[in-house]
Structure 1
Amino acid sequence: MTQSRHDDLDFRALVGEVRPLRHGAGRADAGRPRSGPSEAQLARRESAAGGDRGRDILSDDFVDLIPPFDPLAFRRDGIQQGVMDRLRHGGYPVQASLHLLRRPVEECRRALPAFLREAWEHDLRSVLIIHGRGREIDSPPNVLRSYLAKWLPTFDEVQAFASAGQADGGLGATWVMLRKSDRARAANRERQQKRRG
């Protein structure tokens, strides 16, 4: 007799006779009538679908602190290094700015989604977020800076971001490049079609 056959017989001897349960019997929720999804399930579904932008996705629970002299940088796939370099060196005009200096993290957490959404809806592409930078890793400006590095990639509208050059605020400010809105893309296609004839 093979080892697996022997193990199977030992298991059956230990378990004994097995019968399937009736439908729903033996379940913890067997006595309750089944209703729709719970509020928590509905909230998770809405959040996954993007309906609750800015409230649940921007957690202020934990953040890896970024050393105060390390620059911030992020780019999505498809964004060229030349675009990042131009962004970092202030090669795009400031179309809007958000000043978060000396604001508590919770207030910044509420202000950021509204600012980015409004900028994107108005077809702005390059915005500057001024947050400050402390000398110590756990100083309030550096904590906020670390949260921004965590939060910004969660927005679909953000294509890239980078610490600003000295002329624009240095490590105390961050350039953010937003993707084109659907309206701006359609206008761009229309312009290109007109040029082609």
Structure 2
Amino acid sequence: MTQSAHEDHDFRALMGDVKPLRRSDNRANPGPRRRHPTEAQLARRESAQAEIAQDSFLSDDFVELLPPFDPIEVRRDGIQQGVVDRLRHGGYPAQTRLHLLRRPLGECRRMLPSFIRDAYAHDLRSVLIVHGRGQEIDSPANVLRSYLAKWLIQFEEVQAYVSAQQADGGLGATWVMLRKSERARADNRERQQKRRG
């Protein structure tokens, strides 16, 4: 008897009393029967689609590339220049940071909205975004920096943003000032009233 025939004989001896499962009992292969999603699955799916739609306002279409050695500065109406200067010089401590170094543009586009909204929801005002800066105008870090400048202005929560000083990351980082939430404004009014007596 050859070895393969011997192995086949041993296998049949071991499996002698094993019977195949009926199709209805076979959980590994349920067959063509299709199950419908549960209410919870449908709700999760709808929530995920709504979240994707909500964050898709950030465009990855054409952006005019910023020169790699030029600082960025944007402030909305009503924000004093002194506040922007203090922000630029690190006068407000970074309450949280977002590191986007060496991340693909699409991933950065997905991360930014949740970061801004979470910071705003937790009453944070001063955040630092580290994105890097390349030496060439079309380097990936400079492309991200250019898109970031375009995206930040699209958030209602953002009041101003400026390039950081060298100690905080230089042109490879951006300070962002978020507006006060309604809860923070109410707390501030309450403190003012208590002070006045």
Q: TM-score per shorter chain, which class?
A: 0.7 to 0.9
1:1-197 to 2 correspondences below 5 Å: 52-55=53-56, 57-197=57-197
1:106 alignment partner AA: G
Do the aligned partners of 1:132 and 1:145 also contact (CA within 8 Å) in 2?
Answer: yes
Deviation readout 1:153-194 (Å, 9 max, x if unpaired): 000000000000000000000000000000000000000011
Q: What is the total number of aligned residue pairs between the two structures?
A: 147
Instruction: Output the CA distance in 2 between the equivalents of 1:130 and 1:62.
Output: 22
Deviation readout 1:108-140 (Å, 9 max, x if unpaired): 000000000000000000000000000000000
- TM-score by length of structure 1 reads 0.73
Deviation readout 1:18-77 (Å, 9 max, x if unpaired): xxxxxxxxxxxxxxxxxxxxxxxxxxxxx9xxx95421x200011000000010110000
Do the aligned partners of 1:65 and 1:146 also contact (CA within 8 Å) in 2?
Answer: yes
- TM-score by length of structure 2 reads 0.73
Instruction: Give the gaps of 5 or more residues in structure 2.
Output: 1-49
Instruction: Output the CA distance in 2 between the equivalents of 1:96 and 1:135.
Output: 27
Identity %: 76
Q: What value does the CA root-mean-square deviation take over the aligned residues?
A: 1.4
1:119 alignment partner AA: A
Q: Considering only CA atoms, is the larger Rg found in Structure 1 or Structure 2?
A: 2
Instruction: Output the CA distance in 2 between the equivalents of 1:131 and 1:81.
Output: 24
Instruction: Give the gaps of 5 or more residues in structure 1.
Output: 1-46
Instruction: Output the CA distance in 1 between the equivalents of 2:68 and 2:142.
Output: 6
Do the aligned partners of 1:86 and 1:92 also contact (CA within 8 Å) in 2?
Answer: yes
